[in-house]
């Protein structure tokens, strides 16, 4: 597409997705204090990976949400992805019944609860919305925002939006971070330490960005995050944000990292405001970056250098 | 307890029926089901023959349409549902909400089972699918412990089907994108995991062997070491200074010793994995499980898996090793 003749892309909103890692409470608070003053629009809060991670209770997340809302952020509470025990459902229910903030459902169990409460909701990337009929079905139940599954890309997004023909639904795309790829009953961090999952001693606290997995030839492959397996490479669609927006994204999601999140937010915001150089350095930067899914290629591929 | 056996071909379907399966599950020769392998699965014609054969003997045929269609494939998936209804299968096994909605609207009398690929692990999730799409049964992911399965049966009026034997997915099914991350093709999108077209085996003069998936080194076997198919989650990788099966060893699930507990829990059906396996495999495994379920029905209290059964299953298992998987808490 020739940028001279195309219509200008609409400005997307920026979001900070739920933190996928397990951090100490003071680290979480420091992180969101920084986010509070940053140019993001939406902040997703809550533990989505492992029910044992209780540094913040639901009440703490909600209190944090109030602070962020007071700072002008839209706050959304995000729920567990794999729900195995009745006690875990209690936490999901507590979020759904919070009474203040919209909820992002990462499992249909939360959709069921939100539907019964008659509340509008968002869905996370693990909700498997692969076609327009599915999106329309959830829309009838109250869906107002959805995140594209991370293994889908531009053509799928365009197709789903064209099929669904929904005006009052926002589309969000996971644009920066280690991709959530798989979820298990098994805790891979505990397994690495030869510990049973039930006696994990919360060792994920020692790995604030997960545990890198390399092939025997040293290729960075995966990243272990408790019961979750992530991409070893960081998916970075920021340099192609216009393409993502043109395909139908209303919101671009950045996944929290202990370092660099703020820098990425600022760079993206500057780029959206018209600073053509803001993201330029990232395009040529060598590093553990992938973007293949967006181009319908293997996710681990760095498909092309963005302009 | 209903015994549900796999069939990737007409001979396998016959073997399953002859060996005592109550139901046989199948899929079409395309991306609409989760065992999309070259040379495997059914055409409309072979499926019609299979249905006639099984139903003529009082058995059921369940058709998996359990991958997630994208817009460009939507018509192919709805055509598969149309075909299932026209051929008279006993139920369809579906994961995608859009396809479930289509099936429920068009063919309300065609029973719908929720595929394991939908990853429903809670009573609330099952209630959702029951209310929205009228599902009769759900196959639950291999992430639940035995206690969790029992609690689920207690909390739901949807029939629960569990995996009893076969290859072990260690991830929540329908929520594993490892394969597309490496190859572009996943169980969700095309019904393939670590697809053969991307596999490379390389022999070295010293007798060692490497397996690769789309160029990624999945495993390296010493001379004489038993080499396995490079399924991503069963490769040997490096974390820190450790090298090994970081995610899972090449083992199979075998729940034979849990059979009385699965009965006690109220599990409605037990599924054997392996549509990609040979008719001989399907026949042997089905025979063992038929005998075990019959023994359990006769006297649950004194049930013990016969040594001969366990030997047969062990010989047929990946890497000749079996595990209780997530049913057994310490595995987790």
Nearest to B237 among A82, A213, A231 (CB): A213
How much is the pLDDT for A3? Answer: 42
Phi and psi, residue A60, nearest 5°: -65, -40
Chain B hits for A128, CB-CB cut-off 8 Å, are 68, 95-97, 118-119, 174-175, 188
CATH 3.20.20.70 residue spans of chain B? 2-168+251-331
How much is the pLDDT for B208? Answer: 96
- What mean pLDDT value characterizes chain B? 95
Which 8-state DSSP code applies to residue A85? S
What does the pLDDT look like over A153-184, one tens digit per residue? 999 999 999 999 999 999 999 999 999 999 99
How much is the pLDDT for A2? Answer: 41
More confident site: B251 or A5: B251
Nearest to B98 among A86, A134, A198 (CB): A134
Q: Does domain A13-179+229-295 have CATH number 3.20.20.70?
A: yes
ipTM strictly over 0.90?
yes
How much is the pLDDT for A185? Answer: 87
- What mean pLDDT value characterizes chain A? 94
How much is the pLDDT for B171? Answer: 94
B236 touches A: beta carbon within 8 Å: yes
Tokens of A124: 């996370």
How much is the pLDDT for A307? Answer: 43
**8 Å CB contact of B247 and A229:** yes
Nearest CA-CA distance, residue A92 and chain B, Å:
11
How much is the pLDDT for A276? Answer: 85
Nearest to A299 among B97, B181, B239 (CB): B181
How much is the pLDDT for B192? Answer: 92
**8 Å CB contact of A299 and B246:** no
Q: Searching chain B, which residue's CA lies closest to the CA of residue A188?
A: B247
Tell me what the mean pLDDT of segment A100-127 comes to: 98
B226 touches A: beta carbon within 8 Å: no
Q: What is the number of CB-based contacts under 8 A between chain A and chain B?
A: 215
Interface list for B 86-145 with A (CB within 8 A): 95-99, 101-102, 118-122, 124-125, 127-129, 131-132, 142-145
Residue B155 above 80 pLDDT? yes
The alpha-carbon radius of gyration of chain B (Å, integer) is 20
What does the pLDDT look like over B168-188, one tens digit per residue? 889 999 999 999 999 999 999
Chain B hits for A149, CB-CB cut-off 8 Å, are 188
**8 Å CB contact of B184 and A187:** no
Q: Searching chain B, which residue's CA lies closest to the CA of residue A138?
A: B97
Give the position of tokens 């409605």. B268
Say if residue A86 is exposed, middle or buried (CB neighbours under 10 Å; 0-12, 13-18, 19+): middle
A89 touches B: beta carbon within 8 Å: yes
A195 touches B: beta carbon within 8 Å: no
Please tell me the least confidently modeled range out of A114-128, A270-284, B49-63. Answer: A270-284
Residue A305 above 80 pLDDT? no
Residue A4 above 60 pLDDT? no
Residue A29 above 60 pLDDT? yes
**8 Å CB contact of A128 and B98:** no
Cα(B200)–Cα(B305) distance, rounded to whole angstroms?
39
How much is the pLDDT for B37? Answer: 86
Please tell me the least confidently modeled range out of A198-202, A209-213, A267-271. Answer: A198-202
Task: Show Cβ contacts of residue B126 under 8 Å, excluding neighbours closer than 6 positions.
Answer: B114, B120, B135, B138, B152, B156, B158
Residue B321 above 80 pLDDT? no
What does the pLDDT look like over B234-272, one tens digit per residue? 999 999 999 999 999 888 899 999 999 999 999 999 999
- Burial profile B88-101: b = 16 or more Cβ within 10 angstroms, e = fewer: ebbbbbbbbbbbbb
Cα(A212)–Cα(A223) distance, rounded to whole angstroms?
4
Nearest CA-CA distance, residue A202 and chain B, Å:
15
How much is the pLDDT for B319? Answer: 66
Cα(A143)–Cα(A111) distance, rounded to whole angstroms?
9
B240 touches A: beta carbon within 8 Å: yes
Residue A142 above 50 pLDDT? yes
1.20.120.160, 2.40.50.140, 3.20.20.70, 3.40.50.300: CATH of B2-168+251-331: 3.20.20.70
Chain B hits for A107, CB-CB cut-off 8 Å, are 119, 121-122, 125
B24 touches A: beta carbon within 8 Å: no
- Burial profile A89-112: b = 16 or more Cβ within 10 angstroms, e = fewer: bebbbbbbebeebbbbbbbbbbbb
**8 Å CB contact of A109 and B128:** yes
A114 touches B: beta carbon within 8 Å: no
How much is the pLDDT for A284? Answer: 66
Crossing angle (nearest 10°) for helices A25-36 and A261-272: 20
B217 touches A: beta carbon within 8 Å: yes
- Domain coordinates in residue numbering, chain A: 13-179+229-295
In Å, what is the CA distance from B296 to each residue of A48, B108, B263, B272, B292? 40, 35, 8, 17, 6
Tell me what the mean pLDDT of segment A220-249 comes to: 97
How much is the pLDDT for B324? Answer: 84
A146 touches B: beta carbon within 8 Å: no
Residue A5 above 50 pLDDT? no
Tell me what the mean pLDDT of segment B85-111 comes to: 98
What does the pLDDT look like over A67-94, one tens digit per residue? 999 999 999 999 999 998 889 999 999 9
């Amino acid at each position: 597409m020739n940028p001279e003749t195309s219509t200008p892309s609409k400005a997307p909103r920026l979001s900070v997705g739920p933190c996928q890692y397990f951090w100490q409470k003071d680290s979480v608070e420091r992180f969101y204090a920084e986010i509070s003053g940053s140019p993001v629009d939406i902040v997703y809060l809550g533990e989505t990976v492992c029910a044992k991670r209780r540094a913040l209770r639901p009440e703490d997340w909600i209190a944090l949400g109030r602070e962020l809302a007071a700072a002008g952020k839209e706050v959304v509470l995000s729920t567990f992805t794999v729900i195995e025990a009745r006690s875990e459902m209690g936490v999901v229910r507590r979020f759904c019944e919070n009474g203040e903030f919209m909820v992002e459902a990462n499992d249909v169990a939360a959709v069921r609860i939100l539907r019964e409460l008659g509340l509008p909701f968002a869905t996370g990337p693990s909700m498997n919305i692969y076609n327009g009929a599915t999106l329309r079905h959830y829309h009838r139940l109250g869906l107002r925002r959805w995140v594209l599954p991370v293994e889908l890309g531009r053509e799928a997004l365009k197709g789903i939006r064209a099929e669904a023909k929904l005006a009052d639904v926002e589309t969000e795309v996971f644009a920066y971070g280690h991709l959530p790829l798989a979820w298990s009953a098994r805790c891979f961090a505990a397994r690495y330490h030869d510990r049973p999952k039930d006696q994990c001693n919360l060792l994920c606290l020692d790995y604030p960005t997960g545990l890198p997995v390399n092939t025997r030839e040293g290729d960075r492959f995966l990243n272990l995050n408790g019961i979750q397996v992530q991409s070893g490479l960081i998916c970075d669609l920021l340099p192609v944000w216009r393409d993502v927006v043109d395909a139908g994204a209303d919101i671009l999601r950045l996944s929290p990292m202990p370092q660099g999140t703020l820098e990425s937010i600022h760079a993206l915001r500057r780029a959206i405001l018209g600073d053509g150089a803001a993201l330029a350095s990232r395009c040529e930067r060598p590093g553990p970056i992938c973007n293949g899914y967006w181009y319908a290629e293997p996710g681990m591929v760095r498909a092309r250098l963005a302009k | 307890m209903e015994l549900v056996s796999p069939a990737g071909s007409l001979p396998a379907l016959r073997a399953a029926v002859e060996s005592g399966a109550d139901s046989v599950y199948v899929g079409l020769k395309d991306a609409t089901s989760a065992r999309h392998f070259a040379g495997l699965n059914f055409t409309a014609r072979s499926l019609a023959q299979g249905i006639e054969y099984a139903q003529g003997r009082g058995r059921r045929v369940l058709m998996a349409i359990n991958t997630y269609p994208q817009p460009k494939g939507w018509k192919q998936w709805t055509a598969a549902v149309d075909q299932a209804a026209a051929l008279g299968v006993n139920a369809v096994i579906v994961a995608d909400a859009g396809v479930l909605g289509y099936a429920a609207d068009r063919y309300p009398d065609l029973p719908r089972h929720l595929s394991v690929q939908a990853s429903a692990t809670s009573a609330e999730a099952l209630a959702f699918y029951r209310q929205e799409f009228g599902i009769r049964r759900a196959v639950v992911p291999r992430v639940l412990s035995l206690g969790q399965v029992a609690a689920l049966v207690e909390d739901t009026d949807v029939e629960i089907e569990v995996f009893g034997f076969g290859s072990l997915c260690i991830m929540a099914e329908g929520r594993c994108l490892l394969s597309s991350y490496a190859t572009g093709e996943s169980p969700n999108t095309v019904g393939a995991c670590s697809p053969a077209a991307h596999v490379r085996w390389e022999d070295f003069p010293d007798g060692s062997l490497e397996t690769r998936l789309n160029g990624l080194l999945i495993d390296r076997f010493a001379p004489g070491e038993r080499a396995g198919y490079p399924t991503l989650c069963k490769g040997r990788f490096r974390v820190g200074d450790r090298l090994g099966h970081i995610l899972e060893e090449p083992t199979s699930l075998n729940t034979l010793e849990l059979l009385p507990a699965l009965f006690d829990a109220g599990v409605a059906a037990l599924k054997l994995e392996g549509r990609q396996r040979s008719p001989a495999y399907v026949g042997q495994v089905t025979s063992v499980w038929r005998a075990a379920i019959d023994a359990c029905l006769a006297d649950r209290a004194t049930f013990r898996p016969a040594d001969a059964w366990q030997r047969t299953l062990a010989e047929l298992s990946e890497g000749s090793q079996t595990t209780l998987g997530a049913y057994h808490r310490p595995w987790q």
